[in-house]
Structure 1
Amino acid sequence: MEFRLLKTFVTTTKLSSFTKAANDLGYAQSTVTNQIQALEEELGTMLFERLGKQIKLTKDGEHLYAYANQILKLSDEAKDLISSSLIPKGSLIIGTAESLCLHRLPGVFNTFRSRYPKVEINLHFDTGSDYRTLLRKNTIDIVFFLDVPCNENDLITHVLFEEPMAVIAAPNHPLAKKRQVIPHDLSGQSLILTANGCSYRRIFESILAQIGAKPASVMGVSSNEVIKRFVCDGWGIGFLPHVVVSQELKNNQLIALPWAGPAFAIKAQLIYHKDKWISPALRAFIDITLTAFKTAGT
């Protein structure tokens, strides 16, 4: 039995009139008549006694009416349940670097929280080079990270923008006087870099290794603020996203060395597994992020 036929039957019964049912449902009266006849033919029984312009349920009609009401009620409840499930709620686990969270994502989070306050956001900062593993294990839902473009077949990647990087030093550092700084200039220098596993540390060290530049020492630090402080104090040369050190550069606490080596080509990317179920909450986060950076033109 089709739901539309049952709905017509129930409406006709409640209003005790084919004409009133047609008006209520937005049908022609002939449509209501045809639908009731189709239902009677399917069931092999008469549902209404027709006495002139008056109609009255038969015994079979009374039995069907009781069930039809329940069927339509359950149908409406199912629709309401499914519709409500399409509203973003639940939780999201987002992997990202702390620097990106502080300098690139606040606008995204503000928009998302204002629209979908029922979604719980959990941030996972310890992604590093393990983001692929975490996505494949479904430990995190999505990653916002810096790296060379990801071309893994089982991962969906949205490249958002190129992240400008800065090779930084204290203003009184000997290399600050050079008009150009190339990788060989970092041979014998002390480096203050992010911790092992950081994608852009890996890229920076790879560039140095390719041309044989050998730093005197490398200190790995997990905090950008500590890196900036150590570089300011003359402990060595650092390498961080330009946006992270913009205030210190403006205040002349640090300088960006005039890098003339290979381009870093570090991209900000949004990535998730191709087989990941895109929940309404995750879809909303992806859409807001893509829109935010497209609009910003960053």
Structure 2
Amino acid sequence: MNLRHATLHQLRIFHAVAQHNSFARAAEALHLSPPTLSLQVKQLSETVGQPLFEQVGKKIFLTAAGATLAEACADLETRMERLTQDLAALQGVERGSLKLAILTTVKYTVPKLLGGFCAAHPGIDVAMLVGNREMLLQRLANNQDDLYIMGQPPDNLDVVCEDFADNPLVVVAPPDHPLVGRKRIAPKRLAQEPFILREPGSGTRLTAEKFFTERGIALRNRLEVGSNEAIKQTVAGGLGLAVLSSTTVVAELALGELVQLDVQGFPLIRRWQVVYPRGKRLSAATRAFKDWLFEHRPVAPARRTTPQG
């Protein structure tokens, strides 16, 4: 066995097959014909001197040798990406790539900032993923992206967190709700109301539940919904109240589809965080976007000083 005879092209093809668990899907992803892909994997297997895959029924699985090689390929991909970033840094910030993962709630704020950054730095390739908190934490643990933007950083990961903007949480209701127009509503009054909540683990839900629990109030959970858009429609339909980021309901409040209730202690002020693994080497493009984010972050309106109820 002499791995010096293995080509980088073969290793990338093998890695794609290992990731997709399918020759056909890997061929489609790499824009190769299945026979060409199979030939490259066969030649790599001959170079290694051991089979890399085994077929059980219609499924393929990595052999022990294949699993070892796949791990090495992942390391190689990471090193090649770092090399690309290092070379781009030598050419200045106008070249490079940026992989960004943001919380679903931040999609009302960050993409606008990202658009301005891309216009100012057209030579930087940008990829942005929008997901829920669970997805972002999993990707963060696997170091799959350059930067993560979320509301509540994880407690169990060694990360750097830099807050850059306010994220006010407000209580919203349908326009015909009896509490609309009432002033200084006591939080205990809401114990009688059904609430539409995000999924367990959501940062918005955790913050809202903490606020009410500290006041001896158990929220009536009428529905759990996995997206802010669905929650807004459900509240507008009269099924309950909700605690949402004010950035997500600007249009609905302006149109009168939802109304913000004047609840004592609200808005709850959280902070958006820029998060990345401690010790991670930020590329020139990543540092440039982080600087842009802080330079162009939205200015928060004056905070209300409503006493806590």
Question: What TM-score does the superposition give when structure 1 sets the normalisation length?
Answer: 0.63
Aligned to 1:254: 258
The structure with more radius of gyration: 1
Letter in 1 for 2:129: H
Pair 1:233–1:153, CA change in 2 (3 A): closer
Deviation at 1:262, TM superposition (A): 6.5
Matched, 1:121 2:123: no
Contact 1:190 1:235 in 2 (8 A): yes
Pair 1:85–1:139, CA change in 2 (3 A): same
Aligned to 1:182: 186
Unaligned 5+ segments in structure 2 are 1-86, 301-309
Identity %: 24
Unaligned 5+ segments in structure 1 are 1-80
Matched, 1:203 2:207: yes
Give the secondary structure class of the aligned counterpart of 1:91. Answer: strand
2:97 to 58, 69, 91: 91
Contact 1:162 1:266 in 2 (8 A): yes
Aligned to 1:292: 296
Matched, 1:100 2:106: yes
2-side partners of 1:153 and 1:233: how far apart?
40
Deviation at 1:188, TM superposition (A): 3.3
Deviation at 1:177, TM superposition (A): 4.8
Deviation at 1:132, TM superposition (A): 4.7
Letter in 1 for 2:131: D
1-side partners of 2:122 and 2:231: how far apart?
35
Question: What TM-score does the superposition give when structure 2 sets the normalisation length?
Answer: 0.61
1-side partners of 2:167 and 2:109: how far apart?
10
2-side partners of 1:245 and 1:118: how far apart?
34
Give the secondary structure class of the aligned counterpart of 1:163. Answer: strand
Deviation at 1:116, TM superposition (A): 2.9
Letter in 2 for 1:225: E
Contact 2:197 2:242 in 1 (8 A): yes
2-side partners of 1:255 and 1:114: how far apart?
36
1-side partners of 2:120 and 2:251: how far apart?
31
Pair 1:94–1:251, CA change in 2 (3 A): same
Give the secondary structure class of the aligned counterpart of 2:114. Answer: helix
Aligned to 1:166: 170
Give the secondary structure class of the aligned counterpart of 1:286. Answer: helix
Aligned to 2:286: 282
2-side partners of 1:182 and 1:268: how far apart?
27
Pair 1:221–1:83, CA change in 2 (3 A): closer
1:214 to 202, 206, 218: 218
